Amino acid sequence: MLALVLGFTATPAQAASLTEVTGFGSNPGNLQMFRYVPDGLPAGRPMVVALHGCTQTAAGFDNETGWTKWADTWGFALLLPQQKSANNANSCFNWFEPGDFSRGQGEALSIKQMVDRMAADYATDASRVYVTGLSAGGAMTSVMAASYPDVFAGAAVVAGIPFDCARTMSAGLSCMSPGSDLTAQQWGDKVRAAYSTYSGAYPTMSVWHGTDDTTVKPMNMTELVEQWTNVHGTDATADVSDTVQGYPHKVYRDGSGRAVVESYSITGMAHGQPVDPGSGATQCGTAVQYIPDMNICASYRIGEFWGLAGGGGGTGSLPAPAGLTVTGTTDTSASLSWNAVDGAASYRVYRGGTQVGTPAGTSFTDTGLSAGTTYSYTVAAVDGSGTVGATSAAVQATTGAVHQCYTDNNYNQVVAGRAHTSGGYTYANGSNQNMGLYNLYETHTLEETSPGYFVISDAGCPA
């Protein structure tokens, strides 16, 4: 069978409210439906659909990846579809079968019917439904985002495949390794063809991949970024390139400045989804095979990108503020503005899910930040009784870099981690500018223009 096979060690669900649901529709894909819903979840909350990898189950994917923690913390309903071995011997979602990846058919329709059942049972917010998955589940996430763009506001593919990369099992193996290299236009056309009469907005996309993944080659991350930047009408040149917890992170914005695609390249990670076990505000998960401890919680960062990390979510009736925009940044501050909400007595501003301000008006400046760092912000309106309303979509603000300058010989620059060697020559990290021979005698000044990115500035620093 198709070798998106993940050898997970299934762990019992950590909460009794992980329950199976039957009778959710015609279920043409013959899937199972599980859900985790925090006690007392009010109406109007978001929904997250999480799709497991091969040989995995709903119970072996919910808490291990951290999604149940964030359901409790942020207040959303969690839907966990489950494949049956009768459909695929390795319990993989059949992302490569046209009868299962097409709108209105097979497994894709079964998952859509589960979403409808959750919405009917819990009155979730139809404008805030999100989908994510790992490996075969990541490939199926591409399917759902492309085939049902009218259902999902955001998607996140972890170690997965672009939409419509394959239509047979053998082609699916080729997509996994070595990968399929198409133009951004060709990839985008595949998504647009999935629902050819659709003219609305497409889901935002977060893409995660390990640099050492030999099961699904890392070029799939590049192709996914090309596919979804093209769908959103932007190019595949990042507007923001930074590091988050030490890992390369890129953000791609549309013409209005909205972050529509992001990518995380997890250095040294093989096939899997990264977690950061612990009780900290940004930590999550349990490290098992193919869910490695990489000191970064993917589910937290994905939820942050979607705007879920806004203080746990309000229960009031006020709508989410629209038009949240970064109006300016310095090395240590970020300024925001948003549209007024009728009935709002004040607002709450959240940075990475933590409340940082309670302005009465529609603007706020967050201070005391670190230079050269990207922060995620959301905002919610508060009515006269102090009840918090719905949380806005997130925006990212990157503070300016404090340019550090270092003058030393090439040998010491390499020892300090500012440069590297190849073929007897020295090259600046980041820019890869040639600094000459690797020795103690040739000296240069390197300027760090962003974290880990150095340029030669012998003529004067800052340049």
Report pLDDT digits (tens) over 283-339.
999 999 899 999 999 999 999 899 887 544 444 568 889 999 999 888 888 999 999
Q: Does residue 229 register a pLDDT over 60?
A: yes
Q: Residue 224's closest CA among 282, 278, 155?
A: 155
pLDDT tens string 152-197: 999 999 999 999 999 999 999 999 999 999 999 999 999 999 999 9
Catalytic: 135?
yes
| One-letter amino acid of 103 | R
Extended strands (E) in 240-357? 240-244, 247-253, 259-266, 325-329, 334-337, 346-351, 354-357
pLDDT at 310: 57
pLDDT at 463: 58
pLDDT tens string 27-40: 999 999 999 999 88
Q: In sequence order, what are the residues at sequence separation of 6 or more whose Cβ sits closer than 8 angstroms to the Cβ of residue 18?
A: 34, 35, 36, 58, 59, 62, 68, 80
Whether the Cβ atoms of residue 117 and residue 33 lie closer than 8 Å to each other: yes
Q: Is the pTM of this model over 0.75?
A: no
Domain coordinates in residue numbering, the chain: 19-306, 325-398, 404-456
Q: In sequence order, what are the residues at sequence separation of 6 or more whose Cβ sits closer than 8 angstroms to the Cβ of residue 140?
A: 51, 93, 95, 101, 107, 108, 111, 133
What whole-number distance in Å separates Cα of residue 324 and Cα of residue 305? 14
What whole-number distance in Å separates Cα of residue 268 and Cα of residue 243? 15
For the domain made up of 325-398, give the CATH fold.
Immunoglobulin-like (2.60.40)
Q: Residue 375's closest CA among 249, 273, 463?
A: 249
Which is catalytic among the residues 102, 135, 180, 263? 135
Helices (H), 355-437: 410-415
CA dihedral for 12, 17, 19, 24, sign (positive or negative): negative
CATH node for 19-306: 3.40.50.1820
Q: Measure the CA angle with vertex 159, ends 432 and 395; round to 5°.
A: 70
Q: Does residue 462 register a pLDDT over 70?
A: no
pLDDT at 332: 85
Give residue 344's pLDDT band: very low, low, confident or very high (50, 70, 90).
Answer: very high
Q: Residue 305's closest CA among 393, 419, 213?
A: 393
Q: Residue 129's closest CA among 142, 116, 110, 139?
A: 116
